[in-house]
Amino acid sequence: MQQLLFNLCNAPCLGPVENAFAVAEEFLAPFAAVTRSPGRLIAAVPGTGEPVLLEAHLDEVGFTVTHVHPNGFLTVAPVGSVDSRILAGTPVTVLGQRPVPGVFTSVPPHLSSGSKVAGFNDLKIDIGKAGASLVRPGDFAVFCAPAAALAGSCVTAKALDNRSGVAAVLLAAQKAAAQKGGRPVTVLLTNGEELGCRGAKTGGFALLGKVGCAVSVDVSFGNFPGCEPEHTAVLGTGAMVGVSPVLSGKVTASLKRLAKQNNIPFTLEVMGSNTSTNADVLSVTGGGMAAGLVSIPLRNMHTPCEVINLNDLAAVANLLAHFCKEGC
The string of DSSP codes covering 109-130 is GGGS-S-PPP-TTT-EEE--GG
Q: How far is CA 129 from CA 70, 95, 139, 141, in A?
A: 7, 16, 17, 17
Whole-model pTM: value is 0.92
Q: Cα–Cα distance between 107 and 84 in angstroms, integer?
A: 14
In 3D space, the residue among 314, 325, 46, 284 whose CA is nearest the CA of residue 169 turns out to be 314
Other beta carbons within 10 angstroms of residue 171's beta carbon come to 21
* b/e burial code for range 110-122 (CB count within 10 A of at least 16 → b): eeeeeeeebeeee
H or E element, residue 3: helix 2-10
In 3D space, the residue among 144, 111, 110 whose CA is nearest the CA of residue 125 turns out to be 144
Q: What would be the CATH architecture of the domain defined by 62-143? A: Beta Barrel (2.40)
Q: Cα–Cα distance between 45 and 35 in angstroms, integer?
A: 12
The per-residue pLDDT for 229 is 80
Q: Domain map of the chain by residue range?
A: 2-60+158-326, 62-143
- Tell me the pLDDT of the chain (328 aa) as tens digits: 899 999 999 887 777 668 889 999 999 999 999 998 888 899 999 988 888 999 999 889 999 999 999 999 999 999 988 888 889 899 999 999 999 999 999 766 665 666 666 677 789 999 999 999 999 999 999 999 999 999 999 999 999 999 999 999 999 999 999 987 788 999 999 887 666 566 666 766 677 677 888 999 999 999 988 888 878 999 999 999 999 999 999 999 999 999 999 999 999 999 888 888 888 888 877 777 889 999 999 999 999 999 999 999 999 999 999 999 887 7
The per-residue pLDDT for 39 is 80
The per-residue pLDDT for 140 is 93
Query: Taking the alpha carbons of 87, 5, 39, 137 in that order, is the dihedral positive or negative?
Result: positive
Structure-derived torsion over alpha carbons of residues 134, 12, 302, 215, reported in degrees to the nearest 10: 150
Q: Cα–Cα distance between 321 and 233 in angstroms, integer?
A: 22
Query: Taking the alpha carbons of 287, 172, 144, 82 in that order, is the dihedral positive or negative?
Result: positive
The per-residue pLDDT for 199 is 60
The per-residue pLDDT for 48 is 87
Burial of 24 (0-12, 13-18, 19+ CB in 10 A): buried
In 3D space, the residue among 311, 306, 298 whose CA is nearest the CA of residue 156 turns out to be 306
H or E element, residue 99: strand 99-105
Query: What topology is assigned to 2-60+158-326 in CATH?
Result: Aminopeptidase (3.40.630)
Q: Cα–Cα distance between 100 and 72 in angstroms, integer?
A: 11
Q: Write phi, then psi, for 325 (nearest 5 degrees).
A: -75, -40
Q: Are 185 and 324 in contact (CB under 8 A)?
A: yes
